[in-house]
A and B are shown apart, each in its own frame.
Chain A
């Protein structure tokens, strides 16, 4: 009586998806929905799975584009100012910060990068996770002043920009494979923990390549270079990122797909 509806993409569909998406997405962002591309996707995908992806672009109910935030506040507003030069998402930034200002607040309140979230501000939820010099860290417990000369990558900097197919300056650059996988596997609901989850997951891939161990590693003495992570390993390594909506199984599926390089099945079960 059970009936599995396997809606995973076939290899052909996936290839098609990869071929079509970047171009389509940018076109959509530039000019609105292009019906021809959409119908092509629809027809070839045989359903709504791909359709939704292209529809997304038009649905971006994102914040209005603003003028640049003032990087420099009036001198009166900065106490114990520290001059800071750092690289954020590939761009050199210079600013003076209050010594008390965290990296998280600097990103959000001074650099207009509000993707990193303040879920607890005390290192207990992971929503503020960013990559500093390639390592995942908590930006809420990092003083901005301590980031002199460092390279910071946030959720806004994960999508590849400047590829030959993307148009200069567009926000809809090609998504990072981890972002694609989170979309496909519905690795979020409210989306608030998502930037931190994705940054954490991207770093986790490097840690696995490096052969790092975790508390659930059966034998830490065996260091074998790049490790293939079990789902249990991924769960433990992602436990520093809380998700109150409970998207954990989907997050693990998304990471496993990118980590293993093999599609992870999506199954939706109905019973009559």
Chain B
């Protein structure tokens, strides 16, 4: 861990200003990923600005604007609080489940909601500084492309990077069409639709998100929806708990009150791409269809047909297919098998 100065920001303005003048300064919130990566010498900030004392932790109903009727979750609230807030549990159980599927009780007590979105990949070539990695060191090559890539992407990867994004929470947020609210370095507010928040690697895998340096996530807004009765977060992993996903699916359905017809469907996948992967092809196919296993399977087939697996992760195509079907069924049954 390289030497750095440590300061505590008094308010959001001071926080963003502190970063504005220093390209190697970073915010410190929960620290669960940043400190880890600093110990690995992957992250090398020269200054840390502790933002945990800022009043940005509140969870409150949205009473005006585009997301009226929805719920706003403070960027600096802890994952545990978000997962257990009565309004989240009641109206966005998919988000509760996804948060609770991630990490451990201790880490969820530390990690913030904004920080969760900024988790960096768990690719082992990214983590070990002696290995080539374009994300860590642009131009050094991708160690995983022709290396051990069982855990890597099957959608949207580039020759430069095949890493996947590790968050569970963000997969649910993608399915729920959340909006990320940001305070810019100059003190402006801006909103980023969730689909535009994270990036595909392309030629610049060093950029995980479309957040500019010094921008502060103040809140995550959840629009109102009718999915609360029928949603499910499925996480497939190499051990039962405390492991990153091999693959995950956030599924939500709105079904007509008369009969079994799908009015709206949301499917987002984790562990398959450099960002939360919205299964838009599958979603489109399901709308207006009967909610049956056969239709779920057809939608899953169509979605996974576009997958481009690597040498060691061909199983993810079949696993993704089955997981979409299972997650939709679980969602349809209100979370029960």
A contact set with B: CB distance below 8 Å:
79-80, 82, 99-100, 102, 121-123, 126, 129, 135-138, 141-143, 145-146, 148, 200, 203-204, 207, 210-215, 217-221, 223, 235-237, 239-242
Contacts and interface: CB of A to CB of B under 8 A. Distances in A.
Given A215-B97, A236-B241, A240-B103, A145 B109 contact: no
A137 B31 CA distance: 11
Interface in B282-337: 334-336
Contacts of B86: 223
A123 B52 contact: no
Contacts of A214: 100
A138 B106 CA distance: 6
A217 B84 CA distance: 12
B93, B101, B104 — which one has the most chain A CB atoms within 10 A of its CB? B104
Contact of A221 (B32, B40, B90, B235): B90
Given A220-B100, A221-B89, A146 B105 contact: no
Interface string B91-118: 0010011001101111101100000000
A237 B40 CA distance: 28
Given A80-B4, A122-B40, A220-B100, 17 more contacts: A80-B3, A82-B6, A137-B109, A142-B35, A143-B28, A143-B31, A148-B8, A204-B105, A210-B84, A213-B84, A215-B97, A218-B336, A221-B228, A223-B89, A236-B241, A240-B104, A240-B107
> How many B residues are at the interface, by size bracket?
35 or more
B35 A143 contact: yes
Contacts of A145: 6, 50
B241 A137 contact: no
Contacts of B68: none
Interface in B214-246: 228, 235, 240-242
A107 to B, nearest CB: 15
Contacts of B84: 210-213, 223
B149 interface: no
A83 B149 CA distance: 45
A244 to B, nearest CB: 14
Contacts of B109: 135-137
Nearest to B52: A146
Which 9 interchain pairs have the tightest Cβ spacing?
Answer: A240-B104, A239-B241, A99-B6, A215-B100, A220-B96, A239-B242, A135-B109, A145-B6, A141-B35
B142 interface: no
20 contacts: A80-B5, A99-B6, A100-B3, A122-B36, A122-B39, A122-B40, A123-B36, A137-B106, A141-B31, A142-B110, A143-B48, A146-B31, A200-B105, A211-B84, A212-B84, A220-B83, A237-B105, A239-B104, A240-B105, A242-B242
B4 A102 contact: no
A100 B4 contact: yes
B49 to A, nearest CB: 11
Contacts of A237: 105
Nearest to A217: B100
B89 A126 contact: no
Contacts of B48: 99, 143
A213 B100 contact: yes
Nearest to A102: B35
B80 interface: yes
Interface in B257-304: none
A220 B93 contact: yes
A142 B31 contact: yes
B251 to A, nearest CB: 15
A3 B105 CA distance: 40
Nearest to B46: A80
B89 A213 contact: yes
B240 A239 contact: yes
B290 to A, nearest CB: 25
Nearest to B84: A212
A208 B51 CA distance: 29
A126 B104 contact: yes
A22 to B, nearest CB: 31
B1 interface: yes
Contacts of B40: 122
Interface string B18-61: 00000000001001100110011000000010101000000000
Given A102-B35, A213-B83, A220-B100, A137 B110 contact: yes
A220 B104 CA distance: 17
Contacts of A138: 32, 106-107, 110
A121 B240 CA distance: 22
Nearest to A98: B3
A220 B94 CA distance: 9
Contacts of A215: 97, 100-101, 235, 241
A79 B228 CA distance: 51
Nearest to A238: B105
Contacts of B90: 221, 223
B249 to A, nearest CB: 14
Contacts of B83: 212-213, 220
Nearest to A99: B6
A217 B96 CA distance: 11
A121 B32 CA distance: 11
Contacts of A100: 1, 3-4
A143, A218, A220 — which one has the most chain B CB atoms within 10 A of its CB? A220
Contacts of B89: 213, 220-221, 223
